[in-house]
Structure formats: structure tokens, C-alpha cells
Amino acid sequence: MAKNLHAYSEAEAVDKLLEIGLDKWFVENGWIRRKFNTDGWPTTLQVVNAVGFLCEAGYHHADLEVTWARVLVKLKTHSQRAITDMDFEMAKRIEEMVLWRPLPGQALDGNPNKFVHDKS
């Protein structure tokens, strides 16, 4: 389905990321990007699978760079060859899923390891 999507300039994309609370994401070479550090290969694969599930469910696919303890997520709307609202929406969903942790006092304890780091 073809959509009429606004193509954001890199400066507009930076502003939009801050506006929607994605301050760990950055803009580089026409992509919005986010690096997730993990505690090792098993967690890295979990992040890759989580991102892959979201992208397939949303039918909007990220490019990934994967190493032992790091996943770099890159988003742009391939059909537009630009950053669009589709990318910001997917970034928000990825951020929520990958960094989700139970809140104190809830039934789930949460992973006791470093798991996925919220640091660049």
C-alpha cells in the first residue's frame, strides 16, 4: 500500500527523536540508529529476534549490525529512501520491547544480569 509520507531531513529527524523521547537514538547518513549493548551472544540473539518480530509484524524492516555483545538498529523507509514517521513508530516499539523490565513490586523479578544495557 503506497502512503504519502513526509520525508524528514536529518535536522528534522534529530528534533523528532528528542520530541518523542528517543534521546538514545541518533541520525547518521540518512538513517535513525540505536546501539544496544548486551551481556553476550545469547542476549544479542534475543534482541535480534525481538526486533525481527516487531519489524515483521509492522511490515517495516530495520537493518541490523550484529556482533557478540551489540546490536545496531538502523531505520529508514526504504520505499521513500528517507526517514519517515514509520521509522519513528518502529523505533519507539523497539525501544519499549528491548528495554522493558518489570517494575519493583510486580510479580516478575526481572533478569538479574546486565542483559541489555541502556548505555551507548
Q: What domains, with CATH codes, occur in the chain?
A: 10-101 (3.30.1360.20)
Percent of the chain with pLDDT over 70: 95
Which pLDDT belongs to residue 1? 47
Please, what is the end-to-end C-alpha distance for the chain in angstroms? Answer: 36
What lies within 8 Å, CB to CB, of 19 at 6+ separation is none
Mean residue pLDDT of the chain comes to 94
- CA distance readout (Å), 41 to 31, 33, 53, 97, 102: 25, 21, 18, 18, 22
**Single-letter residue type at 46:** Q
Structure confidence by residue, pLDDT tens digits, 19-60: 999 999 999 999 999 999 999 999 999 999 999 999 999 999
Q: What is the pTM of this model?
A: 0.92
Q: Does residue 29 contact residue 101 with C-beta atoms inside 8 Å?
A: no
